Amino acid sequence: MRLLAFAGAAAALVAAQLVGTYAMSALGLPIPGAVAGLLVLLAGLAVLRQLPDALDDVATLLLRHLNLFFVPAGVGLMAHLALLARDGGALAVAITLSTLAGLVVAAFVFMWANKGVPDGEGQ
């Protein structure tokens, strides 16, 4: 039974992605199906007003190992070394500094704007 619930939860994730993919292509929007599927599942949970245990378990497992799904992309960098070497110095400096700047600005703006905003806990 437990296995069946797990399979159902996994199927729900895939179904949400499919619905998202079709909706975006129907609307002609350049948003990946998985990102749209996130919104589909969120809307589904909002309607359901509860989180099925099996879905919680499957999602927690996938998110705990989110890094795993990026490893092939990391390996893929090997194939792109020649491309990255193009304008290499400029790219390295631009990527490093702009990423750091983006991180710091996002964090500070959030801290500044979030001052005095209640936590939302206990609502």
Amino acid at 65: H
Question: Minimal distance in Å, beta carbon 112 to other proteins?
Answer: 8
DSSP-assigned states of every residue in 54-115: HHHHHHHHHHHTGGGGGHHHHHHGGGGHHHHHTTHHHHHHHHHHHHHHHHHHHHHHHHHHTT
Asked if residue 123 binds other proteins (CB under 8 A), the reply is: yes
Question: Minimal distance in Å, beta carbon 107 to other proteins?
Answer: 4
Asked if residue 80 binds other proteins (CB under 8 A), the reply is: yes
In terms of C-beta density within 10 A (0-12 exposed, 13-18 middle, 19 or more buried), how is residue 16 classed? buried
Asked if residue 54 binds other proteins (CB under 8 A), the reply is: no
Beta-carbon neighbour count of residue 47 at 10 Å? 7
Asked if residue 46 binds other proteins (CB under 8 A), the reply is: yes
**Binding residue count for other proteins, defined by CB under 8 A:** 81
Asked if residue 45 binds other proteins (CB under 8 A), the reply is: yes
Asked if residue 47 binds other proteins (CB under 8 A), the reply is: no
Question: Whose Cβ is closer to other proteins: residue 3's or residue 75's?
Answer: 75
Rounded CA-CA distance 101/51 in Å is: 37
Question: Minimal distance in Å, beta carbon 24 to other proteins?
Answer: 10
Question: Minimal distance in Å, beta carbon 115 to other proteins?
Answer: 9
